[in-house]
Structure 1
Amino acid sequence: MVGLQADDNGSRSTRRPGIRRRTLLSGSAALVTAGAVGASSGCSRVATADTGDGGHLLDQLRANGTVRLGIAGEQPYGYIGTDGKITGSAPAIAERIFGNLGVEKVEPFPTEFGSLIFGLNSLQFDVVAAGMYINPERCEQVLFADPEYQMKDAFIVPKGNPKNLRTYADIARAKARMATGIGYAEIDYAKEAGVKQIATLPDQLAGLLAVEQGRVDVFVGTAVTVRNVVKQTGSKKVEATEEVTPYMDGKPVIDVGAFAFRTPERNLRDAFNRELHKLKRSGELLEIMRPFGFTKDQMTNLTAEEKCRS
């Protein structure tokens, strides 16, 4: 059983520099195995230099027939299923878009969420396909496509929600023991609301179990992730709350997630965006994401440029 890890000062904010957010529900062994396989493909890396012409990676991917996706092992965004195959909303979108761009195969490269940007920029894989939140600090390190979804938070609480925890402020007022994932943006939202007891756990399944066993009063994560884990486990001891809007500096926050590319590869990002916008206009994007728990409420027309400025 995974133990609780108290959060000290290492939690990364959506405002402070660094990398954060999320982890794994199932397929841990497959994740490790696939990671080792992905690491062995390093001999096929192609150096990327900012020549000012927008990059040529798309041409190289078409020639190779394969694009390597950096995933972080978190449902529903990108993970290795119990059958050992890559799945999740981001890989499903990648299969459609890169297929339309003439790249036949997507290959997973599982890693920790905090290693995704480093792995991308060190050429371990070609694109981050992990539902990564866009914020100004990350925009200085990578080139984001426009977001495919927007997201609020939700809580896992004991059945009946005995402490009536429906906002971060409720957690603070109740002096409740809160847990969330390692690297999750929710750590900063909780601190902003005055929450004092914050522990970190490796994933949402560990969070659900911690609430079931009374080791914490609430586990906080993204709304789709929380709903999915409660539904998939069929737990009779916990429930998911309605969606929760976090606040920073007194302003409501709605996070958005997107694919990320190396900064020189503007041509690839722009081609990806064109196909993404086609899927949005036709309604196909929602149909691709719906099996992973997304709804019309999670669809967004925000742009990466807007979020990079916010």
Structure 2
Amino acid sequence: MVEVLKTGLYDTIQDLGRLGSQEFGVPISGVMDRYSAALANSILGNPSNAAVIESVVMGPHLKFKSNTVICVSGAEMNLTLNAKRLKTNVMYPVNTGDVLKFNKLSKGCRSYLAVFGGFQTEVQMGSRSMYKDVTRNYILNTGDVISILDSSETKIVSKRRNSKLFSSIKRDESHFEASELEVFRGPEFENLDSRQQNKLFNTAFLISKESNRMAYQFDQNIENSLKGMITSVVLPGTVQLTPSGKLIVLMRDCQITGGYPRILQLTENAVNKMAQKISGSNITFKGVI
């Protein structure tokens, strides 16, 4: 078990999401940055879909009530275990009574805490991902107690906890530092005139404070003279253009359909990179042929 002593800015349980439930109007959800979450799980030998804690900008303080092993990937939040500094992308043993703290953010936006076997929370529609009105809670709260596998339940955990080969895995730092995001042309891209198309690929867009798990927005506008369209399918990574000229990049908690022109589509890698950008960051779009 893991007790939440103090919550961060926005902490949730996430896995790879509710694939196959969109016909019921349920968003896919899941981890915003699949690259970082998969890295944490792979270091522990977990399945890629094992549930993790996703934290935004500022993470929680957690007390472990059973033995396990952990790994944190993604954003750098100056981790400490019982006041001792920890590195990201490294497997560490954790004992009953240990306290893990996420501290000041120094790189990225979202961090991912994995434990051996994944967090054992409720499953709704094939996923443990928290989402309002689907799961009992949509964020973690102070005082919550989260189930995990105890070391007594598997010999593998005990073996890994006693191992001293906690080597670090090198990650691609461009995942956090690159400002260029690869995109495909969306279904309505050709409806834009050449001036609008050029502006899309030659503007450094500033990420707005209004950005969240549902969508990212920008401070700059693109003049929009497109006609309205019939509501159509959208996906995480779809870039919509509103009548007022606002660009909206849909993220993991996005709706299933939308009525705004879909002018671009981020690659999966670009969606992961976007999830690590904080408000005030600049990004540019690079077309993929």
Q: Which has the higher contact order (CA 8 A, sep 6+)?
A: 1
Higher Rg: 2
State the TM-score, normalizing by the size of structure 1: 0.27
Q: More strand per residue: 1 or 2?
A: 2
Q: Structure 1 or 2: larger helix share? A: 1
Scaled by the length of structure 2, the TM-score of the pair is 0.29
